[in-house]
């Protein structure tokens, strides 16, 4: 390890392999620690691979770990970063590290990895929710948090900083929402193609899991993964309901994620598909569920990237996803996946879905090409792209 580089600090609320934001930063930070002296600044750090997978790094735990209400979690972290990275270096008369922040979590930052823009989400949020969800107390609370997060973004996202946008969509939103055009680098996420692999040797795993879910061998299982409202579960339910009866009869929809379970159960009942919909809470080991499925569906209204899309592709699943997902930028429509122009156009979406359900050979070819695309986006490749951007900032 050469000492010519300044210390690189990754500031993020939590670093673990479970959430999309957390997982991507973990994969990148772990690899970059083998090239640059690295520091992790977070509430938590969990890595199943252990310290041996890392290079030179140290960990600063943010404490106390204030979780609820959510405004405490973000607010305390934000204020603590002012002390740690602005005031303390001045008091000690030392050079502060180069700060890589995930989103607007840190007041002090040199380069920001932008994985979500709250003001962009707010503009279309109401379309993702049903009437009862929009008027609920829970939604009112979340709108307060959303407006607070938007205010924080406007304090942190400044033109003089550098940015890594996880898709061209995010880069365009940085320009539209904040007038930020310069020093923006687009680097798409990656995927672990060994963990997220096709069925092959996992045939028994697939059969057992489908049996546990109550899915027969001749049924087509569609999987949806992610936050129910934002990722488009309401649109998925409406689309499923619009399928031709003979197709619907042999098809099931598995939704894995988080959200208002009661609301979506009510929607399934209202559209008379409750016998076809399986709802599951978010799980850590998601790969077996991709392999147990026949098709991946994500009619999202707002998704800056969508790591679940790339994971499904890596598992060899044919994907039907919205163009409003950043990961769609990696898909060649009709070759490595099928893209949805308008996720609110339920009839057109149902037609696309019917074609895929009725054509096993089409699904097979799409899945094979999807796997090839995913294999090219390894985390090693992503980390190298990050290193190219970060190295000039880290040179003394």
Condensed to tens digits (0 to 9), the pLDDT of residues 105-132 reads 999 999 999 999 999 999 988 776 655 5
pLDDT at 202: 67
Percent residues over pLDDT 70 in the chain? 96
Dump pLDDT digits (tens) for 184-222: 999 999 999 999 999 876 688 999 999 999 999 999 999
| Cα–Cα distance list, 229 to 144, 273, 396 (Å) | 17, 18, 46
What is the spatial distance between Cα 220 and Cα 248, in angstroms, rounded to a whole number? 9
* Residue (of 98, 75, 153) closest to 121 by Cα position: 153
* Residue (of 164, 156, 29, 169) closest to 104 by Cα position: 156
**Helix or strand or coil: residue 281?**
strand
Q: Cis bond leading into 64, ω under 30°? A: yes
pLDDT of 70 > 90? The answer is: no
What is the spatial distance between Cα 123 and Cα 143, in angstroms, rounded to a whole number? 12
pLDDT at 71: 87
Domain 200-375: CATH superfamily, name plus number: Glycogen Phosphorylase B; (3.40.50.2000)
Q: How would CATH label the architecture of 8-190+378-394?
A: 3-Layer(aba) Sandwich (3.40)
Higher pLDDT, 71 or 173: 173
* Residue (of 320, 291, 309) closest to 210 by Cα position: 291
What is the spatial distance between Cα 386 and Cα 266, in angstroms, rounded to a whole number? 44
pLDDT at 321: 99
What would the mean pLDDT of 140-152 be, rounded to a whole number? Answer: 91
| Spans of all domains in the chain | 8-190+378-394, 200-375
pLDDT at 200: 74
The region of weakest confidence among 15-29, 63-77, 367-381 is 63-77
Considering Cα of 122, then 128, then 131, then 132, what sign does the dihedral take? negative
pLDDT of 361 > 90? The answer is: yes
What is the spatial distance between Cα 364 and Cα 93, in angstroms, rounded to a whole number? 61
Non-local CB neighbours of 19 within 8 Å, separated by 6+ positions: none
- Assign 1 a pLDDT band (cuts: 50, 70, 90): very low
Give 84-103 as a DSSP string: IIIIHHHHHT-PPPEEEEET
Q: Cis bond leading into 2, ω under 30°? A: no
200-375 shares the fold of 8-190+378-394: yes
């Amino acid at each position: 390890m050469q000492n010519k580089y300044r210390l690189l600090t990754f500031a993020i609320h939590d670093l673990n392999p479970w959430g999309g934001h957390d997982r991507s930063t973990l994969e990148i930070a772990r690899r970059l620690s083998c090239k640059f002296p690295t520091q992790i600044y977070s509430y938590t750090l969990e890595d199943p691979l252990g310290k041996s997978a890392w290079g030179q790094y140290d960990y600063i735990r943010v404490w106390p770990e204030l979780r609820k209400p959510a405004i405490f979690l973000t607010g305390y972290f934000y204020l603590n970063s002012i002390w740690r990275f602005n005031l303390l270096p001045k008091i000690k008369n030392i050079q502060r590290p180069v700060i890589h922040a995930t989103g607007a979590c840190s007041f002090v930052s040199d380069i920001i990895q932008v994985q979500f823009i709250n003001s962009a989400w707010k503009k279309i949020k109401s379309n993702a929710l049903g009437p009862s969800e929009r008027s609920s107390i829970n939604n009112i609370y979340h709108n307060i948090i959303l407006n607070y997060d938007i205010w924080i973004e406007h304090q942190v996202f400044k033109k003089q900083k550098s940015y890594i946008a996880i898709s061209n969509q995010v880069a365009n939103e940085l320009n539209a929402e904040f007038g930020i055009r310069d020093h923006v680098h687009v680097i798409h996420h990656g995927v672990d193609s060994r963990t997220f692999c096709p069925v092959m040797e996992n045939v028994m795993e697939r059969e057992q899991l489908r049996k546990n879910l109550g899915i027969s061998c001749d049924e087509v299982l569609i999987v949806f993964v992610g936050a129910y409202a934002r990722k488009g579960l309401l649109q998925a339910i409406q689309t499923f309901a619009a399928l031709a009866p003979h197709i619907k009869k042999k098809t099931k929809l598995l939704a894995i994620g988080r959200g208002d379970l009661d609301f979506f159960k009510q929607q399934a009942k209202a559209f008379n598909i409750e016998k076809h919909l399986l709802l599951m809470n978010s799980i850590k080991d998601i790969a077996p569920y991709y392999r147990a499925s026949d098709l991946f569906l994500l009619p999202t209204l707002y998704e800056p990237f969508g790591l679940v899309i790339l994971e499904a592709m890596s598992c060899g699943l044919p994907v039907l996803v919205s163009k409003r997902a950043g990961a769609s930028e990696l898909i060649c429509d009709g070759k490595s996946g099928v893209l949805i122009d308008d996720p609110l156009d339920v009839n057109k979406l149902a037609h696309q879905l019917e074609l895929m359900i009725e054509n096993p050979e089409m699904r097979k070819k799409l899945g094979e090409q999807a796997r090839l695309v995913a294999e090219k986006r390894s985390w090693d490749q992503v980390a190298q792209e990050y290193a190219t951007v970060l190295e000039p900032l880290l040179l003394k």
